[in-house]
Structure 1
């Protein structure tokens, strides 16, 4: 079942964490399109020829390292920043170009910031009502209370932000962002201030609410796991350019280049060479098309793609001889440092086999095909 179809299941799963909450009222989702966006600060170019479209009701993450241009692109979509070149369209209507600029309040866009930006002197109810200025007082209070009920915080309406936990403040910020029923919701690192255990719960329930309201959503994040977990598609950015725009599975299993692969996984690497149409390396010979004869290749294996065996037994005739250097217990997995015969550098291995191997023990290793990636070395 897709995340889009599973909102009820998510709501049941995390209902106890958030308490009883109502269903979010639907919005009319809008498409969002960027055409050849470029932007500079003080002659430093931070975005270069950014073009992609987000479908109505789709959740898309902007993923990249600090300085890659994620937040700048979000601010351009919101109308807080005006791009140097290119255009932004909402439902195929030009809202920002050389001759047109629609202000933020006219774009039907909701914003949720990294620090939540709650007003400390206002009650939780008043914070949520802040974005409902187009409604008369009683109607705005009704909508604000309904929004708080959707995130399980109606009983906190009269509290103030400092009286709430970080997770509760995040939920108030979410309620305030979707209370006006925006067509597009923009979220800038919305979960970065939460501890790891709380973060998983809150973002899963946030995703449930996003699916319920049906708004188009663009989320800025630097966390690959978060992007994979929440997104219909991901825009991977580097130095102001799009490296790859694809579904999470496509990005993970078919990264467009070595940098993209490293962004999503820790990799073990050896050097290989194409000889007679095959990639030959210290860990084996592999069929791989698309490379030229004699071309140097990076042969990469994800840490979880290395399989450990008892010293070349159990019918694993292709296993390579290896020895355990270190074992580190990480709870759900064991992390091993393993020396493989004929390989210059040790491999790191994440193993869930349930069997432990001791430092100094001779073992065999083999590799899962789906966790092997190969790139031309000049990448």
Structure 2
């Protein structure tokens, strides 16, 4: 297993610095999802770790080796890192077995056993070994690409948006197979993605990249429940933001006095709660009354857009409810906030 440490890393292209003084630790045997929008620098960070891009300053340490910085430079092929590209990058002229065994350092007579072991590890049947990549589905191709990356038993595996080109059902199945394979090998992994739900469900740690640095890093549950600011809150998922005033560790807002988690700034604040924290009750039985404006139905759940006719100010209030019995537009309901909220200085 391999730990990865970035210390003060600055990197970019030409004169432009995409990353500026970035620090990040990926503990051995864990998975970190690097999450960010287009152009945020997440792929640049992965390229620096892989060795495809030399940082201008700072250090990259993989395991017990400094692979970049402090006078050191280890080329990609000597870092012992597995790399899975977005499009898989399989060799079209080689069979599945040939792709997986490509570059294995041990004798050819041992390749077949390793290929069959890896096909089982990534959840593919052994009879695919002699097929060409163009005879596989997209999800199967990505699993073969993962098997190829795992073949030489690297301590670190880097995944550059490997599921983004797959449809929803195939993406989930391939992602689950990848997570199982990584756990089975004990490899450390870094996943680059722009999909918030993927990052939260796949990784032990999420690092949000933006503005040239790491906006926040930590366990998914902490980031989702305790985002560092309103922008991170909105980036990580649906967020309801209403004005309020802080007082003694609680916030006063349209929903009344609510407990707050984490640091609470003094004075006027922006109160953040997640739509699933808003429970619908009978009208008159909640902290606030509302009228249902619209319902977006997703099967497993539904997002309910609400109007607050008696509130002093109007804000986009949304509740997330289970999908089996959503309300109808025009229904009068009561609202109850469950659990602590976050408070940020007003923007």
Are 2:73 and 1:101 equivalent residues in the alignment? yes
Structure 1 partner of 2:144: 172
1:68 offset after TM fit, Å?
A: 1.4
1:285 offset after TM fit, Å?
A: 3.0
For 2:324 and 2:184, locate their aligned partners in 1 and report how far apart those are by CA, in whole Å. 40
For 1:118 and 1:232, locate their aligned partners in 2 and report how far apart those are by CA, in whole Å. 28
For 1:244 and 1:174, locate their aligned partners in 2 and report how far apart those are by CA, in whole Å. 28
Q: Is the 8 A contact 1:33 1:92 kept in 2?
A: no
Structure 1 partner of 2:344: 375
Q: How does 1:246-325 map to 2 (within 5 A)?
A: 246-274=218-246, 279-286=251-258, 288=260, 290-292=264-266, 295-312=267-284, 316=285, 318-325=286-293
1:355 offset after TM fit, Å?
A: 4.1
Match of 2:327, SS? coil
Normalising by structure 2, we get a TM-score of 0.92
For 1:328 and 1:184, locate their aligned partners in 2 and report how far apart those are by CA, in whole Å. 41
For 1:172 and 1:163, locate their aligned partners in 2 and report how far apart those are by CA, in whole Å. 12
Q: Deviations over 1:239-290 (max 9, x none)?
A: 2211111111111111111122112221222222346875332332335563
Structure 2 partner of 1:137: 108
For 2:38 and 2:120, locate their aligned partners in 1 and report how far apart those are by CA, in whole Å. 35
- Specify whether residues 277 and 162 from structure 1 end up closer, same or farther in structure 2 by C-alpha distance, changes over 3 A only: closer
For 1:307 and 1:277, locate their aligned partners in 2 and report how far apart those are by CA, in whole Å. 23
Q: Choose from 228, 231, 244 the match for 2:200.
A: 228
Structure 2: 5+ residue stretches without partners = none
1:139 offset after TM fit, Å?
A: 2.2
Structure 2 partner of 1:160: 132
Match of 2:73, SS? coil
Are 2:47 and 1:66 equivalent residues in the alignment? no
For 2:248 and 2:138, locate their aligned partners in 1 and report how far apart those are by CA, in whole Å. 59
For 1:80 and 1:123, locate their aligned partners in 2 and report how far apart those are by CA, in whole Å. 27
- Specify whether residues 260 and 111 from structure 1 end up closer, same or farther in structure 2 by C-alpha distance, changes over 3 A only: same
Q: Deviations over 1:129-170 (max 9, x none)?
A: 2121x2222223332332223222321111111110011101
For 1:198 and 1:241, locate their aligned partners in 2 and report how far apart those are by CA, in whole Å. 32
1:354 offset after TM fit, Å?
A: 4.5
Q: Is the 8 A contact 2:35 2:209 kept in 1?
A: yes
Are 2:23 and 1:87 equivalent residues in the alignment? no
Q: Is the 8 A contact 2:35 2:206 kept in 1?
A: yes
Structure 1: 5+ residue stretches without partners = 1-28
- Specify whether residues 64 and 267 from structure 1 end up closer, same or farther in structure 2 by C-alpha distance, changes over 3 A only: same
Normalising by structure 1, we get a TM-score of 0.85
1:98 offset after TM fit, Å?
A: 4.5
For 2:111 and 2:317, locate their aligned partners in 1 and report how far apart those are by CA, in whole Å. 59
Structure 1 partner of 2:333: 363
More displaced stretch, 322-331 vs 274-283: 274-283
1:184 offset after TM fit, Å?
A: 0.8
Structure 2 partner of 1:22: none
For 1:42 and 1:168, locate their aligned partners in 2 and report how far apart those are by CA, in whole Å. 37
Structure 1 partner of 2:304: 336
- Specify whether residues 369 and 117 from structure 1 end up closer, same or farther in structure 2 by C-alpha distance, changes over 3 A only: same
Q: Deviations over 1:197-230 (max 9, x none)?
A: 1211221121111011111111111112111112
For 1:155 and 1:347, locate their aligned partners in 2 and report how far apart those are by CA, in whole Å. 53
1:46 offset after TM fit, Å?
A: 0.3
- Specify whether residues 155 and 257 from structure 1 end up closer, same or farther in structure 2 by C-alpha distance, changes over 3 A only: same
Match of 1:86, SS? strand
- Specify whether residues 79 and 311 from structure 1 end up closer, same or farther in structure 2 by C-alpha distance, changes over 3 A only: same
- Specify whether residues 80 and 197 from structure 1 end up closer, same or farther in structure 2 by C-alpha distance, changes over 3 A only: same
RMSD: 1.9
- Specify whether residues 358 and 140 from structure 1 end up closer, same or farther in structure 2 by C-alpha distance, changes over 3 A only: closer
